[in-house]
Amino acid sequence: MSWKLNLYLKLTLIIMGAFTPFYLCLAEENDSRHWDYGGTWNPTRWSELKPEYALCQQGRNQSPINLVPHNAKPISVSWEFKYRSIPVAILNNGHTIEIEFKPGSYLLIDGNEYELQQLHFHTPSEHTVMGKASAGELHLVHKTRDGKTAVLLVFLIEGKYNRVLGTLREYIPREKGENQIKGVGLDVNELLPAQRDSYYHYTGSLTTPPCTEGVNWYVMTAPIEVSSEQIENFRQIYQVNARPIQPLNGRVIYFKE
Q: Is residue 6 part of a domain?
A: no
DSSP 175-191: SSEEEEEEEEEE-GGGG
**In a structure prediction context, what are the per-residue pLDDT tens digits for the chain, which is 257 residues long?**
454 444 443 444 333 444 434 333 333 334 458 999 999 999 999 999 999 999 999 999 999 999 998 889 999 888 999 999 888 889 999 999 999 998 999 999 999 999 999 999 999 999 999 999 999 999 999 999 999 999 999 999 999 999 998 888 888 888 888 777 776 778 899 999 999 999 999 999 999 999 999 999 999 999 999 999 999 999 999 989 999 999 999 999 999 98
Q: Is residue 43 part of a domain?
A: no
Q: Cα–Cα distance between 212 and 132 in angstroms, integer?
A: 25
Q: Is residue 246 part of a domain?
A: yes
Backbone angles phi, psi at 160, to 5 degrees: -80, 160
pLDDT of the residue at 4: 44
Residue 129, helix vs strand vs coil: strand
Residue 230 belongs to domain spanning: 59-256
Can you give the length of the chain in residues? 257
pLDDT of the residue at 76: 86
Q: How many domains does the chain have?
A: 1
* Beta strands 86-92 and 106-109, pairing class: unpaired
Q: Is residue 25 part of a domain?
A: no
Here the CATH number for the domain that contains residue 105 is 3.10.200.10
Q: Is residue 113 part of a domain?
A: yes
Kindly state the DSSP code that residue 47 receives in the 8-state scheme. G
pLDDT of the residue at 72: 94
pLDDT of the residue at 181: 75
Q: For the chain, state the CA radius of gyration.
A: 23
- Cα angle 237-141-161, degrees, rounded to a multiple of 5: 50
Question: Which residues neighbour 189 within 8 Å (Cβ) at sequence distance 6 or greater?
Answer: 81, 83
Q: Is residue 149 part of a domain?
A: yes
Q: Is residue 1 part of a domain?
A: no
pLDDT of the residue at 19: 40
Q: Where are the alpha helices (DSSP H) in the chain?
A: 3-29, 55-58, 163-168, 228-237
Q: Is residue 38 part of a domain?
A: no
> What separation in angstroms does the CA of 111 have from each of 64, 108, 139, 193?
26, 5, 21, 22
